Amino acid sequence: MTHFVLEKNAVVRGLCPHDCPDTCALLTTVEDGRAVKVQGNPDHLHTQGVLCTKVSRYTERTYSPQRLTHPLKRVGPKGLGQFEPVTWEEAIADIAGKLQHIAATDPEAILPYSYAGTMGWVQGESMASRFFHQLGASFLDRTICASAGSEGLTYTLGGKLGMKTEFFSESKLIIIWGSNSIASNIHFWRLAQEAKRNGAKLICIDPRKSETAEKCHVHLPIRPGTDAALAFAVMRELVIHDWLDHDYLEKYTLGWASLRERAMTWTLARAAEVCGIEESLIEDLAKDWGTTSQAAIRLNYGMQRVKGGANAVRAVACLPALTGAWRHRSGGMLLSNSSNFTVNKADLYRPDLLGARRPRILNMSTIGNELNHPGSPAWGPQIKAVLVYNSNPLAVAPNSSQVAQGFAREDLFTVVMEHFQTDTADYADYVLPATTQLEHWDVQGSYGHTDLLLNRPAIEPVGQAKPNTEIFRLLAKAMHFTGPCFTEDDLSLCRTAAGPQVDFEMLLSQGFVTMPVADAPFATGGFATPSGKCEFVSDRLAAMGLDPLPDHVPNYEVPVAGHKYPLAMISPPARNFLNSSFVNVESLRAIEKEPLVEISFEDAALRGISTGDTVKIFNDRGEYHCKADVTVRARVGVVNGLGIWWRKFGLNGTNVNEVTSQLLTDLGRAPVFYDCQVEVALIKKG
């Protein structure tokens, strides 16, 4: 283990590991071995000394009386959360024995399940990957958040690349597209405010009149899943008014003639009908985009959680090339910057441990189906064991009744590594207490900016908690996996992850380093696509038998007059939660109060619903009870079921994912959380 002595009194440099584009630099004040304060590092450009409300309460979360402090073994029925404490030795020996027994028949019956509870490269997939590679377990396709948009972006721009976030402060037009920045990207909102003070116009495109939408100059409340239609109508306007940068189009793009042809079919009237907004809003949007130099789009993942999510991202990603917005450092677009970081995968994950084996890949987004699959020669063995870390699938995966049914299987062996007794932990055979960011080492990049950060432990582990890495080292040892890669300590893993190209000494002393990224990455082309151009048309997609051009792909579930589920439901996050993290932090839950659905005055009146009433949201997949909020935040025909509450805090023991489906996006195999038709009915007044 790391021979590293923690100081009893210190201010310790760290990083916020949550799934958030801001990736803040933290300063934790430690007094007498106890963390008393967590603040933003004022020396870090992107943090500017400020944290969101959630993480400012980090000590409350860390020292919560509900923290898991010792290993637990299930003693009651699955799902009820009845456990007794056991020693680490007993837990590890039993888990290793069970896994060995399953692996003796077929290691692919074992599945890791993890996502972004921590985005750290070390406490994420480092020792864990080595362990599962050696074991030969099934692979997990980590699609639950961003893979549709990421693929769309990658086919068009060549990678998860875009504007440097800091230059949005100089933009003259910012379109916030499918993002509630005030809730989920607060440091970007500060930049947008700065731009606004310097005269920039802010436009928000979002079905919900979010906290962000109401503070922008213009809000386009489009129907969920219609962003590509909007983008095409904008393109057509750009053509008609010749707001195009012909030189840029010619030199740095591929397939303009074909894209133009498709765009010309999207009249204002056609797009207005599909998007459910007035023509003039689209006309004005196009004019602003076409006539403002230094125009920028902050796209975010909210708009790709629908059937056509990847195509929508592709369509929007064409817009900056049409007008040559990329020529300016304060123009272009940003969805994600994560391709600027290169995790040293070969050394960190050690895929070589697989040898000749090529285990099957199972999709985390359809875990409900997968856990209930009996196994078949084509599909492979039935899943017999799941090891969950950094994720809470019972709450976050779609179609939860199926997920719950799967995890309730008596013949399934489930291990959950967690900070808290989550909905998923309630179904575990063993719950293992994990350390938080204040208690372990890590290193990671960001998907919203271009700095790499290091996290030092500030305090000793709370109770008997152990880092994920240590849990996998212990399991590896118990399963007789030998070799130095199974004993590498966490500080060394940080070094391995960062790779040789990073100045690790600077990372150690300063806590962050900036990646070498050009200020205006595509000013003169240089896209990371095979052609080096912005690919409106993709030969790679054509080779896969897919449409080489972006298109408007309608939702799976669309409102049909007279249909029994007439309302579209989106389920963006509540501001004070981060996915299902923080829901159990009492002071934050007190702000969000109760699970609720936002519904328009018109839709509420039709159903006799008033604010504060208890309602049910339902469809053929299930029903979810919550409180109604009759509000202008919801547009007619769309309800907003704010997420992601723990099921056990729900009024009927479910959450919003009870009604979402396991269907997948056009590209990227991602879930379609915001492509979901429901009905809402009154249960109880007041």
Ligand X SMILES: Nc1nc2c(c(=O)[nH]1)N[C@H]1C(S)=C(S)[C@@H](COP(=O)(O)OP(=O)(O)OC[C@H]3O[C@@H](n4cnc5c(=O)[nH]c(N)nc54)[C@H](O)[C@@H]3O)O[C@H]1N2
Per CB under 6 A, residues contacting ligand SF4 are 16, 18, 20, 22-24, 51-52, 54-55, 186, 578
CA atoms of 498 and 345, how far apart (whole Å): 10
Shortest spacing between CB 578 and ligand SF4, in angstroms = 6
Its sign, for the CA torsion 79, 83, 89, 90, is negative
Q: Do 470 and 122 contact (CB within 8 A), yes or no?
A: no
Q: Do 307 and 554 contact (CB within 8 A), yes or no?
A: yes
Q: Do 329 and 520 contact (CB within 8 A), yes or no?
A: yes
CA atoms of 70 and 366, how far apart (whole Å): 31
Q: Do 388 and 396 contact (CB within 8 A), yes or no?
A: no
Shortest spacing between CB 228 and ligand SF4, in angstroms = 29
Reading phi first (left if > 0) and then psi (alpha if -120 to 50, else beta), residue 212 is in: alpha
Shortest spacing between CB 579 and ligand SF4, in angstroms = 11
Q: Which is closer to Mo ion, CB of 17 or CB of 276?
A: 17
Q: Which is closer to ligand X, CB of 252 or CB of 624?
A: 624
The residue assigned the tokens 């990207």 is 185
145 part of the interface to Mo ion, by CB under 5 A: yes
Shortest spacing between CB 476 and ligand SF4, in angstroms = 31
Query: Of 434, 198, 193, which Cα lies nearest the Cα of 298?
Result: 193
Contact partner, 468, from ligand SF4, ligand X, Mo ion, none, Cβ < 5-8 Å per class: ligand X
Contact partner, 406, from ligand SF4, ligand X, Mo ion, none, Cβ < 5-8 Å per class: none
Classify 18 as helix, strand or coil: coil
Of residues 153-192, those binding ligand X (CB under 6 A): 177-180, 183-185
Q: How many residues bind to Mo ion according to rule CB under 5 A?
A: 2
Per-residue binder mask for ligand X (CB under 6 A), 66-105, x = binder: ----------------------------------------
Shortest spacing between CB 365 and Mo ion, in angstroms = 12
Q: Do 399 and 657 contact (CB within 8 A), yes or no?
A: yes
Query: How many other β-carbons are positioned within 10 Å of the β-carbon of residue 510?
Result: 16
Contact partner, 208, from ligand SF4, ligand X, Mo ion, none, Cβ < 5-8 Å per class: ligand X
Q: What is the DSSP string of 368-414?
A: HHHHT---BTTTBSPP-EEEEES--HHHHSSSHHHHHHHHT-TT-EE
| Contacting residues for 596 by C-beta, under 8 A, at least 6 apart | 626, 627, 628, 629, 641, 642
Shortest spacing between CB 26 and ligand SF4, in angstroms = 7
Per-residue binder mask for ligand X (CB under 6 A), 334-373, x = binder: ----------------------------------------
CA atoms of 47 and 120, how far apart (whole Å): 17
20 part of the interface to ligand X, by CB under 6 A: yes
Query: How many other β-carbons are positioned within 10 Å of the β-carbon of residue 537?
Result: 21
Contact partner, 51, from ligand X, ligand SF4, Mo ion, none, Cβ < 5-8 Å per class: ligand SF4
Among 79, 302, 320, 406, binds ligand X (CB under 6 A): 302
Contact partner, 422, from ligand X, ligand SF4, Mo ion, none, Cβ < 5-8 Å per class: ligand X
Q: Which is closer to ligand X, CB of 224 or CB of 521?
A: 224
206 part of the interface to ligand X, by CB under 6 A: yes
The tokens of 250 are what? 């010619």
Stretch in the footprint of Mo ion (CB under 5 A) among 138-146, 454-462, 467-475, 566-574: 138-146
Q: Which is closer to ligand SF4, CB of 16 or CB of 313?
A: 16
Query: Of 2, 13, 16, 4, which Cα lies nearest the Cα of 444?
Result: 16
The tokens of 482 are what? 């030998």
Distance of CA 40 to the CA centre of its chain: 22
Among 227, 288, 488, 613, binds ligand X (CB under 6 A): 227
Q: What is the CA radius of gyration of the chain?
A: 25
Q: Which is closer to ligand SF4, CB of 23 or CB of 414?
A: 23
Query: Of 262, 296, 267, which Cα lies nearest the Cα of 279?
Result: 267
Cα 454–Cα 459–Cα 463 angle in degrees, nearest 5: 125
Backbone angles phi, psi at 189, to 5 degrees: -60, -35
Q: Which is closer to ligand X, CB of 206 or CB of 426?
A: 206
What ranges make up the beta strands (E) of 532-593?
Answer: 534-535, 567-570
The tokens of 507 are what? 């990372």
Q: Which is closer to ligand X, CB of 245 or CB of 658?
A: 658
Shortest spacing between CB 527 and ligand X, in angstroms = 23
Q: What is the DSSP string of 55-75?
A: HHTHHHHHT-TTS--S-EEE-
Contact partner, 24, from ligand X, Mo ion, ligand SF4, none, Cβ < 5-8 Å per class: ligand SF4
468 part of the interface to ligand X, by CB under 6 A: yes
Q: Which is closer to ligand SF4, CB of 99 or CB of 183?
A: 183
In Å, how far are 163, 263, 667 from 550, measured between CA atoms?
A: 22, 10, 11
Of residues 380-439, those binding ligand X (CB under 6 A): 389-392, 395-396, 417-420, 422, 434
Its sign, for the CA torsion 518, 520, 524, 528, is positive
Query: Of 422, 469, 417, which Cα lies nearest the Cα of 113?
Result: 417
Contact partner, 575, from ligand SF4, ligand X, Mo ion, none, Cβ < 5-8 Å per class: ligand X
Q: Do 469 and 490 contact (CB within 8 A), yes or no?
A: yes
The residue assigned the tokens 């709450």 is 395
Contact partner, 23, from Mo ion, ligand SF4, ligand X, none, Cβ < 5-8 Å per class: ligand SF4
Q: Which is closer to ligand SF4, CB of 183 or CB of 385?
A: 183
577 part of the interface to ligand X, by CB under 6 A: yes
CA atoms of 609 and 567, how far apart (whole Å): 14
144 part of the interface to ligand X, by CB under 6 A: yes
Q: Which is closer to ligand X, CB of 368 or CB of 643?
A: 643
Shortest spacing between CB 420 and ligand X, in angstroms = 6
Among 244, 277, 303, 507, binds ligand X (CB under 6 A): 303
Contact partner, 438, from ligand X, Mo ion, ligand SF4, none, Cβ < 5-8 Å per class: none
Classify 203 as helix, strand or coil: strand
Contact partner, 55, from ligand X, Mo ion, ligand SF4, none, Cβ < 5-8 Å per class: ligand SF4
570 part of the interface to ligand X, by CB under 6 A: yes
The tokens of 473 are what? 């080292």
Of residues 644-663, those binding ligand X (CB under 6 A): 644, 656-657, 660
Positions in the binding site for ligand X (CB under 6 A): 19-20, 115-118, 123, 144-146, 177-180, 183-185, 205-208, 210, 222, 224-225, 227, 300-303, 306, 389-392, 395-396, 417-420, 422, 434, 468, 570-573, 575, 577-581, 643-644, 656-657, 660, 673-674
Positions in the binding site for Mo ion (CB under 5 A): 19, 145
